[in-house]
Amino acid sequence: MKPPLDWSLLQSFAAVAANGSLSAAARKLGSSQPTLSRHIASLEMQTDSRLFERSPGGLELTEAGAELYDFALRMADAAEDLRLATEGRTQTLSGTVRLTASAIMATYVLPDILTALRREEPEIDIELIASDRTENLLQREADIAVRMYRPTQVDVITRKIADLSSGAFATPAYLEARGIPETIEDLRSHDVVGYDRSDLIIKGFEAAGLKVGRGFFPFRCDNQVVCWQMAVAGYGIGFVLQAVGRSEPAVVPILENADIPKLPVWLTAHRELKVSRRVRRVYDFLADRLERLENSSAH
């Protein structure tokens, strides 16, 4: 009878399978390539199977390797569930919660909310990833994600919080020089700040009844904070959340009667939300304050 497979070997194997190379897996685990190579060799001896094949793109799982990988993932999920259950029984609010949010949300909306959270919960530390890319909650890159679209990851807890109003804004100097647009169609004769590779604003224009392409925007950047600052500087017309635009004294709202699509706000969390008092507290606080945001921006 063969001895049971060593969990440490399976962890090394799963890391190599997930990352596609020994070097990437070693960086992820804080280990070394020789150590991981020995672990894979030992596991291949125990299973009497070749687990990887080399390819130009790195290491690829064999059929036997793919079967073992599914098994290793189930073991990892079980181990994580046990950790969460144990931690949930003893956990206090003290500790760190890691958030991810878009650059515009992290820069202009969350600071006030997180400052208020700090006053109420001084033992909770916050780590904030200001990024427009999708963070993988299942790989624990973040505990909670604030997103302006519905997340598609499985095995996470997600909730729609609100639909936030967006608006068009420009500086008085720009409007004095170029005139005030009265309709969305009037924007064809104006300088509008847009995104580069992202088609988010193009889809927004289409929903509002104006079909444009990437070349419609004389300035393009996928960093939404940069785009907003270009509008604040007077380059042209910018679109942003009403809560952000109305708090900026350098610009004024325009096209207030236009049908500009609202942006949904979703809160997503790892399943730790069910057992962690700390993550639940931050999640509920964010939900409450983001729900209030739409009402406050209207005044």
Quick check: pTM over 0.75? no
Kindly state whether residues 82 and 211 are assigned to the same domain. no
pLDDT of residue 194: 93
Kindly state whether residues 101 and 146 are assigned to the same domain. yes
Q: Is residue 66 part of a domain?
A: yes
CB atoms within 10 A of CB 272: 22
Q: Is residue 220 part of a domain?
A: yes
pLDDT digits (tens, 9 = 90+) for 113-155: 999 999 999 999 999 988 866 655 545 577 888 987 776 665 6
Q: Is residue 259 part of a domain?
A: no
pLDDT of residue 285: 94
Question: What CATH number does the domain containing 54 carry?
Answer: 1.10.10.10
Q: Give how many domains the chain has, as a whole number.
A: 3
Kindly state whether residues 116 and 245 are assigned to the same domain. no
pLDDT of residue 138: 44
Q: Is residue 263 part of a domain?
A: no
Kindly state whether residues 136 and 67 are assigned to the same domain. no
The one-letter amino acid at 45: M
Identify the domain containing residue 288 by its residue range.
Answer: 96-154+268-293
Three-point CA angle 163, 165, 166, nearest 5°: 130
Question: What CATH number does the domain containing 282 carry?
Answer: 3.40.190.10
Kindly state whether residues 83 and 110 are assigned to the same domain. no
Nearest Cα to 201, choosing from 240, 250, 242, 254?
A: 240
- Round to whole Å and give the CA distance between 252 and 219: 20
Kindly state whether residues 200 and 145 are assigned to the same domain. no
Per DSSP bridges, beta strands 124-130 and 193-194 are unpaired
- Round to whole Å and give the CA distance between 4 and 43: 11
Q: Is residue 241 part of a domain?
A: yes
Q: Is residue 135 part of a domain?
A: yes
Nearest Cα to 14, choosing from 47, 42, 38, 36?
A: 36
pLDDT of residue 94: 83
Q: Is residue 262 part of a domain?
A: no
Kindly state whether residues 57 and 205 are assigned to the same domain. no
Three-point CA angle 185, 242, 230, nearest 5°: 70
Domain boundary (89, 107, 137) is at 89
Kindly state whether residues 149 and 277 are assigned to the same domain. yes
Kindly state whether residues 113 and 63 are assigned to the same domain. no
Q: Is residue 299 part of a domain?
A: no
Q: Is 48 left (phi over 0), alpha (psi -120 to 50) or beta?
A: left
Kindly state whether residues 52 and 194 are assigned to the same domain. no
Kindly state whether residues 285 and 240 are assigned to the same domain. no
Those residues of the chain that have pLDDT short of 50 are 1, 90, 138, 299
Q: Dig out the tokens for 250 from the structure.
A: 């350098």
pLDDT of residue 140: 55
Kindly state whether residues 16 and 62 are assigned to the same domain. yes
